[in-house]
């Protein structure tokens, strides 16, 4: 049962345009959401996060939006650059008494062409 879903395996965008990556989740107990960027043969690099008490968080070109009622979040990259080409993972945190573990979506491959 996939609790975090990224339904688009790939996305192609032109340089300078907006990239919108989407993520859906099923578990209403998730209270913290993160986006990571990953290049092949490297570990994921943290991009931006959002707490469930917020609906938007911005950091430079990256903005994450959270819609709790729809159990949906999205990452906006504006403007997109060729260096943004990578796999983007959405992750959710479900704290319990023992600790936290990240539940990841399967990723969306973003290709930004110049």
Partner 1 sequence: KAGVTQTPRYLIKTRGQQVTLSCSPISGHRSVSWYQQTPGQGLQFLFEYFSETQRNKGNFPGRFSGRQFSNSRSEMNVSTLELGDSALYLCASSLNFQGVQETQYFGPGTRLLVL
Residue numbers at the binding site for partner 1 (CB under 8 A): 31-32, 34, 36, 41-46, 49, 51, 89, 91, 93, 95-96, 98-107
Q: How far is the CB of 98 from partner 1 (least distance, A)?
A: 5
Give 20 or 103: the residue with its C-beta nearer to partner 1: 103
Residue pair 48/66 in contact (Cβ under 8 Å)? The answer is no
Q: How far is the CB of 50 from partner 1 (least distance, A)?
A: 10
Measured CA angle at 25 (ends 53, 102), to 5 deg: 80
Q: How far is the CB of 58 from partner 1 (least distance, A)?
A: 16
Q: What is the CA 22 to chain-centroid distance, rounded?
A: 7
Give 19 or 36: the residue with its C-beta nearer to partner 1: 36
Residue 36: Cβ within 10 Å count: 20
Residue pair 86/10 in contact (Cβ under 8 Å)? The answer is no
Give 32 or 65: the residue with its C-beta nearer to partner 1: 32
């Amino acid at each position: 049962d996939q609790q975090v879903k990224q339904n688009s395996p790939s996305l192609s965008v032109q340089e300078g345009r907006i990239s919108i990556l989407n993520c859906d989740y099923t578990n209403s107990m998730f209270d913290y959401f993160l986006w990571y960027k990953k290049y092949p043969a490297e570990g994921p690099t943290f991009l931006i996060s959002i707490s469930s008490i917020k609906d938007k968080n911005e950091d430079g070109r990256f903005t994450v939006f959270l819609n709790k009622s729809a159990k949906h979040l999205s990452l906006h990259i504006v403007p997109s650059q060729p260096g943004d080409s990578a796999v983007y993972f959405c992750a959710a945190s479900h704290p319990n008494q023992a600790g936290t573990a990240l539940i990841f979506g399967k990723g969306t491959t973003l290709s930004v062409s110049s």
